[in-house]
Homo-oligomer: A and B are copies of this chain.
Amino acid sequence: MAHGFALLGERVELTVIGNTGDDLELHGLQISPDLDTVMYTLAGLANETTGWGVTGETWSAAGMLETYGEPTWFKLGDRDLATHIARTARLRASERLTTATGALAQALGVAATILPMSDEQVRTKIRTTDGWLDFQEYFVRHGHADEVLEVRFDGIDDAHATAEVVDAIESADLIVVAPSNPFLSVAPILALRGVLDALHAAAAQTIAVSPVVGGGALRGPAADIMRSMGTAPGATGIAEHYATRYPGLVDVLLIDNADAGEFDAVNAHGIMPAMADIVIPDESRRRQLAREILRICGLATD
């Protein structure tokens, strides 16, 4: 979704606030998978084949790390590894994650501002029948195959949204909640001290893009998790989720044309539904959806 807005070029001044609850430390390196996915995508370096990591990747270091007995379940290509090395070097030199993230993105030619939600550590933990797992253990190591019984965000009570995040929200002309997993990717950001206050203080409209189409997730385990959490995995469930847990937050919910039948049900939750083709596998459709969102929110007429 961020890519779509980035593809609109200079007419959009884009700031992406990324979840850092998925971050992990591996081989002594600080890894921020959500921030990096955004960064690589906006830099045109995303690996479209794997759906994660960098294009044109090699795997030499991974083989040696395996030989050295380092964990191998989280695969890091050589180019990707450089990102984690550079980030970790900056953090160890007492740079803020916000500054480090900005510097790396700028070096890759990303015009948008990518902001970690916080400079402080928050770690998403997932309870499955195996007990509590680190997020990436659940997501990557176990291939998000386990039923999610509970989610918690370790460190959330001591962490704060950065000044940059609060300012970006409060000064925005439009706030878009990405079609991301509401429980795993959006919830940590909204749970962070300062974010909901900033959203309520913001003058801009907030439009959420549904992460489900026709009862299935656009990507990842969102549908299964919604079911586990007692919410039907559909546009109505998403509306109910946002309306119930974050009253007054979402003004507009953009649902897929395929979910037109849920228009009234969404509306009944006090959120204005809008419809579009929200399946955006390629650049052209991403750009088109971003433009459509600007139109829906009265920020563009073309």
Contacts and interface: CB of A to CB of B under 8 A. Distances in A.
A65 interface: yes
Interface stretch (A82-90, A117-125, A142-150, A152-160): A82-90
Interface in A80-112: 81-83, 85-86, 88-89, 92-93, 103-104, 107-108
Contact of A60 (B58, B68, B108): B58
A64 B89 contact: no
A27 interface: yes
Interface residues of A, number: 33
B28 A104 contact: no
A27 B61 CA distance: 16
Contacts of A77: 60
Contacts of A70: 82, 85-86, 89
Contact of A104 (B68, B81, B83, B88): B68
Q: How many copies does the complex hold?
A: 2
Contacts of A103: 68-69
A173 interface: no
B79 A64 contact: yes
Contacts of A28: 85, 88-89, 92-93
A82 B63 CA distance: 9
Nearest to A70: B86
A61 B78 contact: yes
B60 A85 contact: no
A57 interface: yes
A278 B85 CA distance: 41
Residue among A56, A62, A67, A88 with max Cβ neighbours from chain B (10 Å): A67
Contacts of A108: 67
A109 to B, nearest CB: 9
Given A28-B92, A78-B78, A92-B28, A85 B61 contact: yes
A36 to B, nearest CB: 12
A107 B58 contact: no
Contact of A86 (B58, B65, B89): B65
Interface string A12-31: 00000000000000011100
A93 B69 CA distance: 15
Contact of A83 (B68, B82, B88, B93): B68
Contacts of A63: 79, 82
9 contacts: A27-B89, A28-B85, A61-B82, A62-B82, A64-B86, A65-B86, A68-B104, A70-B85, A85-B85
Interface of A: 27-29, 54, 56-58, 60-65, 67-70, 77-79, 81-83, 85-86, 88-89, 92-93, 103-104, 107-108
